[in-house]
Each structure stands twice: as structure tokens, then as C-alpha cells.
């Protein structure tokens, strides 16, 4: 895999950056494009840090003054192809994404890409959860902030027509749209035809406000984009705090189990649903059986500036909204700690599971509950 990021050096070159969580030890290749006005020592700063990540190769370049960020983002594809010609083995997948995107499991991400033969033309990206953005804007093409992957064959063929499709690229504002227009041109399909592959587990997250019900939807989460746009928790936490918690969750729960729903209790008195690494919700009176697998409507749950409309989540219908602290009580994740085997020694410890601590974040109620996750 060959990854591309276009960002400032100080947004990637530190231990707790989002990108380090999936690049570290991955053995992938990386192209980092710095903006033309970045710190004069940006190359040195970035290269010094990237050398510690165990990458197969890394390449740091600086955009020229006359090239926009979006064009740099799109043009990383032919640049990666040119660099890859010197590699001992061909690159199967070329991947561009934003620096505020977390890949929850590189193993599972590779499994996703393996479904698309590198000898065929495939462009794999995300949909936007925002219905207005999806239906009224570009919409049908893949959104690349959450990652957009191109197979070896597609990149080879796209490089051949790169200059030819420049007018189409210039007509589009966003880098992922530029790629999609060139892809449709190459395929001979109508623009905005939706000919590319869109994957629901790649989450663009074009939303603001409290996005809790979306994380409680039971979907698979291979990527989480747009940290800083939305609020994961009702009380104020900094982006680094939220990112650190999700990074820890993705490491301990191995990506597949993040934000998955489990029915812990359902009787005549109450329903209790665990969303791993996110929330523990008690419903009194209990949910109706027909509502157990459904999602609360997000248009009522979101808060923030403006008026929020419904969001596309790939499932429905929705269950009725419950009011917090009246007929629904939510506890949010505070920490995840390993549980060691009682037979562990000082020199050798065996992790047998994890303890997830949840707490209320409503008014002055800070009560906590612990859930043990055994391996």
C-alpha cells in the first residue's frame, strides 16, 4: 500500500498524531506533501519523525506556490505512481486520505482492499452521511477524506490520461472530485455516474454537533474522518482526548469491535445496550422488541449551529426518540484498561480482556459503571 497525505509538518510529526496510529509498523509507503508556506524546516521535521515509523519508504515534497491544496491532493496519485516505479515490488493500492482520519485497523483495511483485484480498475471511497451533501452536491462519487483507494491498474491507466483530463479537474473544487471526474472520463461513463465503489465502513462524517446516535448505529468502522467537526460526547473534551480514546479502543478491540452493539439486558423493567468503546444506555420502560435493532433519529439528536436534517446511515426505519434523563440514561466511555490473568507474573503478563469504564455526563450526575470485555 502507498499512502498519500497533504498536510503541514506539525500536524503529522508527533507521537500522538492520528496518522501515526495506523502508519506505525505498517510497512507501507508514504508520500507527504507539505504546503508551499509551511515551516522552512518542515521537511527536516517530518523526515526525522517518519524515519521512526517503520515504513517501507517515505517521501516528503513541498507544493509549489501556484498549486492549490486540492490539486496537490489529487496530483499525489501520478506522483506516487512515478515514485513506485523504483520499488522492488509493484504497489497494489494507492491511497489518499486526510490527516484528520483514523484507520481503526490496518489488518481489516487490507482485507477490504483485497476484495478489489489490483489488476482491475477500481476506485474505492466513502459516501457522505449528509443527505443534502450526498443528494445535492457531487454526491455520486467517492468522498476521499475518509480514504480513497485506487488499484494498480487504475492508476497506470489514469496516469496516461492525466493531462487530457485537466479541464475536468480544474472544474472541480475538491481533490476527490477531481479524481472521480478523471476516473469517469477514463471509463467512458457519464460524469457523476456513481461508477466508483463506495464503502459504508469508510465514514466521511460530514456532520456537526453531538453525533452519538450515529456511533450507536451498529455499523462497521474502518475509518473515522473529520475529528473536530463533530462532538463524540456531550461534555466538552478536546480533540486530542477524543482521538486518544478512539486510538486506544481501536488497538485494544482490534477495530472490528469498535462501536458494535450488544444487548446486555431486556426484560419487563428495562433495556440495556452496550456500544463498545462508546456508550452504555439504559431505557426505562424497555424498548419494544421491534425497535431493538433500529437507530434513533439523528435529526432530533444532533445539536449545534443551524438546523440539522436527517442523515443517511444505510439503515432504517428509525425508532422513536427517547428523552435523556427521562426515559433514557446514557453513560459514555471514560477509559479502557487491560485485565490481566491471575496467573500473570512480574516478568510475563497475559491480557485476558479489558475493562471499559462508563460515566454519566448529564448535569451533576457523574456516576460510573464498569463492563468487562473478556477475550
Task: Output the pLDDT for position 344.
Answer: 66
> Can you tell me the distance from the alpha carbon of 112 to that of 133, in angstroms, rounded to the nearest whole number?
25
Least-confidence region, from 81-85, 97-101, 299-303 = 299-303
Q: pTM of the full predicted structure?
A: 0.89
Strand boundaries in the chain, DSSP class E: 2-6, 29-34, 57-62, 93-96, 102-103, 123-127, 148-151, 197-203, 209-210, 223-224, 230-231, 261-266, 271-275, 279-283, 295-296, 318-319, 328-340, 351-360, 368-374
Domains by residue range for the chain, with CATH:
2-203 (3.90.550), 240-374 (no CATH)
Q: How confident is the model at residue 303 (pLDDT cuts 50, 70, 90)?
A: very low
- The pLDDT > 90 percentage for the chain reads 50
Parallel, antiparallel or unpaired: strands 279-283 and 271-275: antiparallel
The 10s digit of each residue's pLDDT in 173-191 is 788 888 988 998 999 987 7
Amino acid at each position: 500500500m502507498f499512502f498519500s497525505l497533504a498536510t503541514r509538518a506539525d500536524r503529522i510529526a508527533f507521537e500522538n498524531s492520528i496518522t501515526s496510529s495506523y502508519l506505525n509498523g505498517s510497512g507501507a509507503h508514504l508520500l507527504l506533501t507539505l504546503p508551499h508556506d509551511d515551516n522552512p524546516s518542515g521537511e527536516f521535521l517530518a523526515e526525522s519523525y517518519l524515519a521512526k515509523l517503520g515504513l517501507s519508504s517515505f517521501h516528503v515534497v513541498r507544493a509549489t506556490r501556484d498549486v492549490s491544496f486540492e490539486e496537490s491532493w489529487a496530483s499525489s496519485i501520478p506522483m506516487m505512481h512515478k515514485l513506485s516505479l523504483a520499488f522492488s515490488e509493484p504497489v497494489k493500492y494507492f491511497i489518499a486520505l486526510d490527516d484528520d482520519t483514523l484507520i481503526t485497523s490496518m489488518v481489516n483495511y487490507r482485507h477490504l482492499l483485497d476484495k478489489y483485484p489490483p489488476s482491475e480498475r477500481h476506485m474505492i471511497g466513502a459516501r457522505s452521511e449528509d443527505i443534502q451533501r450526498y443528494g445535492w452536491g457531487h454526491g455520486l462519487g467517492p468522498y476521499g477524506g475518509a480514504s480513497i483507494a485506487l488499484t494498480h491498474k487504475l492508476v497506470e491507466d489514469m496516469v496516461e490520461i492525466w493531462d487530457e483530463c485537466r479541464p475536468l479537474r480544474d472544474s472541480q473544487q475538491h481533490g476527490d472530485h477531481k479524481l472521480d471526474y478523471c476516473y469517469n472520463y477514463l471509463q467512458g461513463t457519464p460524469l457523476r455516474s456513481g461508477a466508483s465503489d463506495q464503502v459504508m465502513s469508510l465514514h466521511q462524517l460530514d456532520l456537526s454537533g453531538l453525533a452519538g446516535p450515529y456511533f450507536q448505529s451498529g455499523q462497521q468502522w474502518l475509518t473515522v474522518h473529520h475529528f473536530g467537526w463533530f462532538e463524540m460526547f456531550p461534555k466538552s473534551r478536546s480533540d486530542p482526548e477524543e482521538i486518544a480514546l478512539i486510538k486506544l479502543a481501536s488497538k485494544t478491540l482490534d477495530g472490528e469491535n469498535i462501536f458494535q452493539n450488544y444487548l446486555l439486558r431486556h426484560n419487563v423493567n428495562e433495556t440495556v445496550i452496550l456500544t463498545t468503546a462508546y456508550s452504555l444506555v439504559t431505557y426505562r420502560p424497555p424498548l419494544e422488541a421491534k425497535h431493538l435493532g433500529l437507530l434513533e433519529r439523528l435529526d432530533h439528536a444532533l445539536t449545534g449551529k443551524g438546523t440539522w436534517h436527517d442523515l443517511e446511515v444505510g439503515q432504517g426505519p428509525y425508532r422513536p426518540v427517547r428523552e435523556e434523563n427521562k426515559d433514557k440514561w446514557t453513560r459514555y466511555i471514560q477509559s479502557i484498561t487491560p485485565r490481566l490473568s491471575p496467573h500473570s507474573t512480574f516478568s510475563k503478563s497475559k491480557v485476558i480482556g479489558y475493562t471499559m469504564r462508563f460515566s454519566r455526563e448529564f448535569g451533576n450526575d457523574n456516576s460510573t459503571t464498569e463492563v468487562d470485555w473478556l477475550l
